[in-house]
Structure 1
Amino acid sequence: MTANRYPDCLAFVLRAEGGYVDDPLDHGGATNQGITQRTYDDWQESHGLPLQSVRLISAEEVAAIYRNHYWRRILGDDLPPRIDLMVFDTAVQHGVSRASKWLQAVVMSPVDGVVGYKTLYAVNDYVMRNQIKVLIDDYMDLRNAFYAGIVTRDPTQARFRKGWSRRMYRLSSALL
Protein backbone atom coordinates (compact mmCIF):
# COMPACT_ATOMS: atom_id res chain seq x y z
CA MET A 1 0.00 0.00 0.00
CA THR A 2 1.26 3.45 -0.91
CA ALA A 3 0.86 6.69 1.00
CA ASN A 4 -2.56 8.28 0.67
CA ARG A 5 -2.23 9.98 -2.68
CA TYR A 6 -5.95 10.44 -3.21
CA PRO A 7 -5.98 14.16 -2.27
CA ASP A 8 -3.23 14.97 -4.78
CA CYS A 9 -4.78 12.85 -7.52
CA LEU A 10 -8.18 14.40 -6.86
CA ALA A 11 -6.69 17.90 -7.05
CA PHE A 12 -5.24 17.06 -10.48
CA VAL A 13 -8.60 15.78 -11.75
CA LEU A 14 -10.49 18.77 -10.40
CA ARG A 15 -8.11 21.19 -12.17
CA ALA A 16 -8.76 19.30 -15.40
CA GLU A 17 -12.52 19.06 -14.97
CA GLY A 18 -13.33 22.66 -14.07
CA GLY A 19 -16.75 23.94 -13.05
CA TYR A 20 -20.28 23.64 -14.36
CA VAL A 21 -20.65 22.85 -18.07
CA ASP A 22 -23.71 21.90 -20.12
CA ASP A 23 -22.47 21.78 -23.69
CA PRO A 24 -25.13 20.28 -25.99
CA LEU A 25 -22.41 18.53 -28.04
CA ASP A 26 -20.85 16.87 -24.97
CA HIS A 27 -22.33 13.39 -24.68
CA GLY A 28 -21.86 13.52 -20.90
CA GLY A 29 -24.52 16.19 -20.54
CA ALA A 30 -24.50 18.64 -17.66
CA THR A 31 -21.47 18.24 -15.40
CA ASN A 32 -19.95 20.09 -12.49
CA GLN A 33 -16.35 19.43 -11.53
CA GLY A 34 -16.55 16.39 -13.80
CA ILE A 35 -19.56 14.85 -12.05
CA THR A 36 -22.46 14.24 -14.46
CA GLN A 37 -26.03 14.96 -13.51
CA ARG A 38 -26.82 11.23 -13.77
CA THR A 39 -23.96 10.30 -11.39
CA TYR A 40 -25.06 13.00 -8.96
CA ASP A 41 -28.68 11.80 -9.13
CA ASP A 42 -27.54 8.25 -8.35
CA TRP A 43 -25.49 9.56 -5.42
CA GLN A 44 -28.37 11.60 -4.04
CA GLU A 45 -30.81 8.67 -4.34
CA SER A 46 -28.40 6.22 -2.72
CA HIS A 47 -28.12 8.57 0.27
CA GLY A 48 -31.84 9.25 0.55
CA LEU A 49 -31.43 12.86 -0.52
CA PRO A 50 -33.69 14.84 -2.85
CA LEU A 51 -32.56 15.25 -6.43
CA GLN A 52 -31.16 18.64 -7.35
CA SER A 53 -29.09 20.22 -10.08
CA VAL A 54 -25.46 19.16 -10.27
CA ARG A 55 -24.74 22.91 -10.16
CA LEU A 56 -25.43 22.66 -6.41
CA ILE A 57 -23.02 19.80 -5.66
CA SER A 58 -20.79 20.47 -2.66
CA ALA A 59 -17.03 20.00 -2.53
CA GLU A 60 -17.55 17.23 0.05
CA GLU A 61 -19.95 15.39 -2.26
CA VAL A 62 -17.52 15.73 -5.18
CA ALA A 63 -14.66 14.27 -3.13
CA ALA A 64 -16.84 11.44 -1.81
CA ILE A 65 -18.19 10.54 -5.27
CA TYR A 66 -14.72 10.48 -6.78
CA ARG A 67 -13.38 8.39 -3.91
CA ASN A 68 -16.23 5.86 -3.92
CA HIS A 69 -17.10 5.62 -7.61
CA TYR A 70 -13.62 5.90 -9.12
CA TRP A 71 -10.62 5.78 -6.75
CA ARG A 72 -11.73 2.77 -4.72
CA ARG A 73 -12.93 0.87 -7.78
CA ILE A 74 -9.48 1.11 -9.40
CA LEU A 75 -7.81 0.26 -6.05
CA GLY A 76 -6.02 3.59 -6.24
CA ASP A 77 -4.49 3.21 -2.78
CA ASP A 78 -2.76 0.03 -3.95
CA LEU A 79 -1.47 1.17 -7.33
CA PRO A 80 2.09 2.47 -7.62
CA PRO A 81 2.50 6.24 -7.55
CA ARG A 82 1.95 7.80 -10.95
CA ILE A 83 0.02 4.74 -12.13
CA ASP A 84 -2.65 5.68 -9.59
CA LEU A 85 -3.05 9.16 -11.09
CA MET A 86 -2.97 7.90 -14.66
CA VAL A 87 -5.67 5.27 -14.13
CA PHE A 88 -7.79 7.52 -11.87
CA ASP A 89 -7.83 10.37 -14.38
CA THR A 90 -8.72 7.92 -17.13
CA ALA A 91 -11.49 6.34 -15.05
CA VAL A 92 -13.00 9.76 -14.44
CA GLN A 93 -12.97 10.72 -18.09
CA HIS A 94 -13.60 7.36 -19.79
CA GLY A 95 -15.13 5.10 -17.15
CA VAL A 96 -13.72 2.72 -14.57
CA SER A 97 -14.14 -0.37 -16.73
CA ARG A 98 -12.32 1.06 -19.75
CA ALA A 99 -9.51 2.49 -17.58
CA SER A 100 -9.13 -0.88 -15.87
CA LYS A 101 -9.20 -2.83 -19.14
CA TRP A 102 -6.45 -0.65 -20.62
CA LEU A 103 -4.30 -1.21 -17.54
CA GLN A 104 -4.92 -4.95 -17.67
CA ALA A 105 -4.12 -5.11 -21.38
CA VAL A 106 -0.83 -3.26 -20.95
CA VAL A 107 0.36 -5.43 -18.06
CA MET A 108 -0.95 -8.61 -19.69
CA SER A 109 -3.41 -9.44 -16.93
CA PRO A 110 -6.79 -11.03 -17.66
CA VAL A 111 -8.91 -8.24 -19.11
CA ASP A 112 -12.22 -8.05 -17.26
CA GLY A 113 -12.47 -4.35 -16.43
CA VAL A 114 -12.18 -4.90 -12.68
CA VAL A 115 -8.92 -4.10 -10.90
CA GLY A 116 -8.28 -6.79 -8.34
CA TYR A 117 -5.30 -8.44 -6.77
CA LYS A 118 -4.33 -10.30 -9.96
CA THR A 119 -4.18 -6.97 -11.76
CA LEU A 120 -2.20 -5.38 -8.93
CA TYR A 121 0.29 -8.24 -9.00
CA ALA A 122 0.65 -7.91 -12.78
CA VAL A 123 1.12 -4.13 -12.50
CA ASN A 124 3.83 -4.45 -9.86
CA ASP A 125 5.53 -7.26 -11.78
CA TYR A 126 5.42 -5.25 -15.00
CA VAL A 127 6.85 -2.17 -13.31
CA MET A 128 9.69 -4.23 -11.86
CA ARG A 129 10.48 -5.94 -15.19
CA ASN A 130 9.87 -3.24 -17.76
CA GLN A 131 10.12 0.01 -15.87
CA ILE A 132 7.22 2.27 -15.08
CA LYS A 133 7.88 4.49 -18.11
CA VAL A 134 7.02 1.66 -20.53
CA LEU A 135 3.73 1.05 -18.74
CA ILE A 136 2.89 4.76 -18.78
CA ASP A 137 3.81 5.18 -22.45
CA ASP A 138 1.81 2.13 -23.57
CA TYR A 139 -1.22 3.15 -21.51
CA MET A 140 -1.15 6.74 -22.72
CA ASP A 141 -0.90 5.48 -26.33
CA LEU A 142 -4.16 3.58 -25.79
CA ARG A 143 -5.82 6.68 -24.39
CA ASN A 144 -4.63 8.89 -27.26
CA ALA A 145 -5.88 6.33 -29.78
CA PHE A 146 -9.25 6.34 -28.03
CA TYR A 147 -9.53 10.12 -28.43
CA ALA A 148 -8.72 9.78 -32.13
CA GLY A 149 -11.41 7.12 -32.45
CA ILE A 150 -13.99 9.38 -30.81
CA VAL A 151 -13.43 12.04 -33.46
CA THR A 152 -13.37 9.48 -36.28
CA ARG A 153 -16.73 8.07 -35.18
CA ASP A 154 -18.29 11.48 -34.49
CA PRO A 155 -16.60 14.48 -36.11
CA THR A 156 -18.68 16.89 -33.97
CA GLN A 157 -16.44 15.86 -31.09
CA ALA A 158 -13.37 17.40 -32.77
CA ARG A 159 -14.18 20.64 -30.97
CA PHE A 160 -13.03 18.98 -27.73
CA ARG A 161 -9.67 17.84 -29.14
CA LYS A 162 -7.74 20.88 -27.91
CA GLY A 163 -8.97 20.40 -24.33
CA TRP A 164 -8.19 16.69 -24.45
CA SER A 165 -4.70 17.46 -25.73
CA ARG A 166 -4.09 19.97 -22.92
CA ARG A 167 -5.28 17.43 -20.37
CA MET A 168 -3.02 14.71 -21.79
CA TYR A 169 -0.05 17.11 -21.83
CA ARG A 170 -0.63 18.03 -18.17
CA LEU A 171 -1.08 14.37 -17.25
CA SER A 172 2.06 13.32 -19.13
CA SER A 173 4.00 16.06 -17.36
CA ALA A 174 2.67 14.94 -13.98
CA LEU A 175 3.70 11.34 -14.72
CA LEU A 176 7.38 12.17 -15.43
Structure 2
Amino acid sequence: YLRCPAYISIGDPGAGKKDIEQRVLWTSEGNKRKQLKEVLQYTEPPIIVFVNVKKAADVLGKWIEGEGYSVSVLHGGKHQDAREQNMENFRAGYTDVLVATDVAGRGLDIDDVQHVINFDMPKNIEDYTHRIGRTGRAGKKGLATSLLTKDDEHIMYDLKNFLEQNGQIVPQELQHAQAAKFKPGTLNKGQDVVFVQ
Protein backbone atom coordinates (compact mmCIF):
# COMPACT_ATOMS: atom_id res chain seq x y z
CA TYR A 1 0.00 0.00 0.00
CA LEU A 2 1.11 3.54 -0.65
CA ARG A 3 1.02 5.83 2.37
CA CYS A 4 1.68 9.20 0.74
CA PRO A 5 1.26 8.76 -3.00
CA ALA A 6 2.20 11.64 -5.28
CA TYR A 7 0.72 12.27 -8.69
CA ILE A 8 3.05 13.85 -11.22
CA SER A 9 1.76 15.09 -14.53
CA ILE A 10 3.91 16.45 -17.32
CA GLY A 11 1.95 18.51 -19.82
CA ASP A 12 -1.82 18.69 -19.94
CA PRO A 13 -3.18 15.18 -19.29
CA GLY A 14 -6.48 16.07 -20.99
CA ALA A 15 -4.85 17.48 -24.09
CA GLY A 16 -5.15 15.68 -27.39
CA LYS A 17 -2.25 14.61 -29.46
CA LYS A 18 -1.54 16.42 -32.67
CA ASP A 19 -0.27 13.23 -34.29
CA ILE A 20 -3.69 11.55 -34.01
CA GLU A 21 -6.23 12.31 -36.70
CA GLN A 22 -9.64 12.21 -35.03
CA ARG A 23 -12.71 11.42 -37.13
CA VAL A 24 -16.22 11.50 -35.73
CA LEU A 25 -18.92 9.81 -37.79
CA TRP A 26 -22.54 10.61 -36.98
CA THR A 27 -24.59 7.43 -37.28
CA SER A 28 -27.54 5.57 -35.77
CA GLU A 29 -27.42 2.66 -33.37
CA GLY A 30 -28.83 0.37 -36.07
CA ASN A 31 -26.21 1.46 -38.62
CA LYS A 32 -23.11 1.13 -36.41
CA ARG A 33 -22.02 -2.30 -37.64
CA LYS A 34 -22.28 -1.22 -41.27
CA GLN A 35 -20.18 1.87 -40.44
CA LEU A 36 -17.70 -0.28 -38.51
CA LYS A 37 -17.26 -2.59 -41.51
CA GLU A 38 -16.25 0.43 -43.61
CA VAL A 39 -14.10 2.01 -40.90
CA LEU A 40 -12.10 -1.19 -40.36
CA GLN A 41 -10.81 -0.81 -43.92
CA TYR A 42 -9.29 2.67 -43.31
CA THR A 43 -5.94 1.28 -42.11
CA GLU A 44 -3.91 -1.86 -41.82
CA PRO A 45 -3.93 -3.71 -38.48
CA PRO A 46 -3.34 -3.56 -35.59
CA ILE A 47 -6.68 -1.97 -34.72
CA ILE A 48 -8.37 -1.54 -31.32
CA VAL A 49 -12.18 -1.34 -31.16
CA PHE A 50 -13.60 -0.02 -27.87
CA VAL A 51 -17.02 -0.91 -26.48
CA ASN A 52 -18.54 -0.10 -23.09
CA VAL A 53 -19.66 -3.48 -21.76
CA LYS A 54 -18.20 -7.00 -21.59
CA LYS A 55 -21.03 -8.76 -23.40
CA ALA A 56 -20.83 -6.27 -26.28
CA ALA A 57 -17.09 -6.99 -26.57
CA ASP A 58 -17.72 -10.72 -26.95
CA VAL A 59 -20.61 -10.29 -29.41
CA LEU A 60 -18.84 -7.68 -31.53
CA GLY A 61 -15.63 -9.73 -31.53
CA LYS A 62 -17.49 -12.69 -33.03
CA TRP A 63 -19.14 -10.42 -35.63
CA ILE A 64 -15.78 -8.90 -36.67
CA GLU A 65 -14.34 -12.43 -36.99
CA GLY A 66 -17.25 -13.19 -39.32
CA GLU A 67 -16.11 -10.25 -41.45
CA GLY A 68 -12.76 -11.98 -42.02
CA TYR A 69 -10.52 -10.48 -39.34
CA SER A 70 -8.62 -12.34 -36.65
CA VAL A 71 -9.79 -10.99 -33.28
CA SER A 72 -8.77 -10.94 -29.62
CA VAL A 73 -11.23 -9.79 -26.95
CA LEU A 74 -10.17 -8.09 -23.74
CA HIS A 75 -12.41 -7.25 -20.78
CA GLY A 76 -12.54 -7.61 -17.02
CA GLY A 77 -14.81 -10.67 -17.20
CA LYS A 78 -12.04 -12.82 -18.65
CA HIS A 79 -9.59 -14.67 -16.43
CA GLN A 80 -6.19 -13.05 -16.07
CA ASP A 81 -4.52 -15.85 -18.06
CA ALA A 82 -6.95 -15.37 -20.97
CA ARG A 83 -6.46 -11.59 -20.89
CA GLU A 84 -2.68 -11.97 -20.97
CA GLN A 85 -2.85 -14.52 -23.81
CA ASN A 86 -5.17 -12.29 -25.86
CA MET A 87 -2.87 -9.30 -25.33
CA GLU A 88 0.17 -11.33 -26.32
CA ASN A 89 -1.58 -12.55 -29.48
CA PHE A 90 -2.45 -8.97 -30.40
CA ARG A 91 1.02 -7.60 -29.61
CA ALA A 92 2.69 -10.36 -31.61
CA GLY A 93 0.47 -9.70 -34.63
CA TYR A 94 -1.39 -13.02 -34.49
CA THR A 95 -4.67 -11.11 -34.34
CA ASP A 96 -5.61 -8.04 -36.39
CA VAL A 97 -8.21 -6.51 -34.10
CA LEU A 98 -8.48 -6.15 -30.33
CA VAL A 99 -12.05 -5.58 -29.12
CA ALA A 100 -11.87 -4.18 -25.62
CA THR A 101 -13.67 -2.41 -22.83
CA ASP A 102 -11.92 0.41 -20.98
CA VAL A 103 -9.71 -2.18 -19.26
CA ALA A 104 -7.43 -1.50 -22.28
CA GLY A 105 -7.98 2.25 -22.30
CA ARG A 106 -5.31 3.08 -19.75
CA GLY A 107 -1.81 1.95 -19.17
CA LEU A 108 -1.45 -0.61 -21.93
CA ASP A 109 1.59 -0.06 -24.08
CA ILE A 110 1.00 -1.64 -27.47
CA ASP A 111 3.37 -0.68 -30.26
CA ASP A 112 2.25 0.53 -33.66
CA VAL A 113 -1.53 0.56 -33.18
CA GLN A 114 -2.69 2.08 -36.46
CA HIS A 115 -6.30 2.80 -35.62
CA VAL A 116 -8.51 3.14 -32.55
CA ILE A 117 -12.25 2.89 -33.09
CA ASN A 118 -14.84 3.95 -30.51
CA PHE A 119 -17.74 1.68 -31.47
CA ASP A 120 -19.38 2.87 -28.24
CA MET A 121 -18.57 6.35 -27.00
CA PRO A 122 -16.92 6.46 -23.57
CA LYS A 123 -18.61 7.93 -20.50
CA ASN A 124 -16.44 11.06 -20.42
CA ILE A 125 -13.79 13.00 -22.32
CA GLU A 126 -10.97 11.73 -20.08
CA ASP A 127 -11.72 8.14 -21.08
CA TYR A 128 -11.95 9.28 -24.72
CA THR A 129 -8.46 10.79 -24.41
CA HIS A 130 -7.06 7.59 -22.90
CA ARG A 131 -8.66 5.42 -25.56
CA ILE A 132 -7.39 7.40 -28.53
CA GLY A 133 -3.98 7.61 -26.86
CA ARG A 134 -3.40 3.94 -27.74
CA THR A 135 -2.47 5.13 -31.26
CA GLY A 136 -0.13 7.85 -32.51
CA ARG A 137 2.59 6.98 -30.01
CA ALA A 138 6.34 7.59 -30.06
CA GLY A 139 6.12 10.22 -32.78
CA LYS A 140 4.07 8.06 -35.15
CA LYS A 141 0.81 9.10 -36.76
CA GLY A 142 -2.43 7.45 -35.73
CA LEU A 143 -6.11 7.46 -36.55
CA ALA A 144 -9.03 7.51 -34.10
CA THR A 145 -12.57 7.08 -35.40
CA SER A 146 -15.65 7.47 -33.21
CA LEU A 147 -19.17 6.36 -34.06
CA LEU A 148 -21.44 8.97 -32.47
CA THR A 149 -25.22 8.61 -32.17
CA LYS A 150 -27.97 10.86 -30.84
CA ASP A 151 -27.85 8.77 -27.65
CA ASP A 152 -24.33 10.00 -26.83
CA GLU A 153 -25.51 13.35 -25.45
CA HIS A 154 -23.41 12.90 -22.29
CA ILE A 155 -20.16 13.52 -24.19
CA MET A 156 -21.21 15.82 -27.04
CA TYR A 157 -20.33 19.15 -25.41
CA ASP A 158 -16.88 18.04 -24.26
CA LEU A 159 -16.16 16.16 -27.49
CA LYS A 160 -17.02 19.16 -29.65
CA ASN A 161 -14.74 21.40 -27.56
CA PHE A 162 -11.96 18.80 -27.53
CA LEU A 163 -12.04 18.45 -31.31
CA GLU A 164 -11.99 22.23 -31.78
CA GLN A 165 -9.09 22.68 -29.33
CA ASN A 166 -7.07 20.08 -31.22
CA GLY A 167 -7.73 21.45 -34.71
CA GLN A 168 -9.92 18.51 -35.73
CA ILE A 169 -13.03 18.55 -37.93
CA VAL A 170 -16.33 18.72 -36.03
CA PRO A 171 -19.15 17.10 -38.02
CA GLN A 172 -22.13 19.38 -38.68
CA GLU A 173 -24.50 17.07 -36.79
CA LEU A 174 -22.36 17.43 -33.67
CA GLN A 175 -21.85 21.15 -34.22
CA HIS A 176 -25.62 21.71 -34.29
CA ALA A 177 -26.68 19.16 -31.67
CA GLN A 178 -28.44 20.80 -28.73
CA ALA A 179 -26.44 18.63 -26.30
CA ALA A 180 -23.19 20.03 -27.74
CA LYS A 181 -24.13 23.61 -26.91
CA PHE A 182 -24.21 23.33 -23.11
CA LYS A 183 -22.22 21.37 -20.56
CA PRO A 184 -24.39 18.54 -19.19
CA GLY A 185 -26.13 19.52 -15.98
CA THR A 186 -25.90 23.28 -16.51
CA LEU A 187 -29.47 23.64 -17.79
CA ASN A 188 -32.65 22.13 -16.44
CA LYS A 189 -34.83 20.26 -18.92
CA GLY A 190 -37.52 22.54 -20.25
CA GLN A 191 -35.66 25.68 -19.22
CA ASP A 192 -36.00 28.44 -21.80
CA VAL A 193 -32.79 29.77 -23.25
CA VAL A 194 -32.68 33.26 -24.70
CA PHE A 195 -29.78 34.25 -26.92
CA VAL A 196 -28.91 37.94 -26.97
CA GLN A 197 -26.50 39.49 -29.44
- Calculate the TM-score normalised by the size of structure 2: 0.24
- Calculate the TM-score normalised by the size of structure 1: 0.25
Name the structure, 1 or 2, with higher relative contact order (CA <8 Å, separation 6+).
Answer: 2
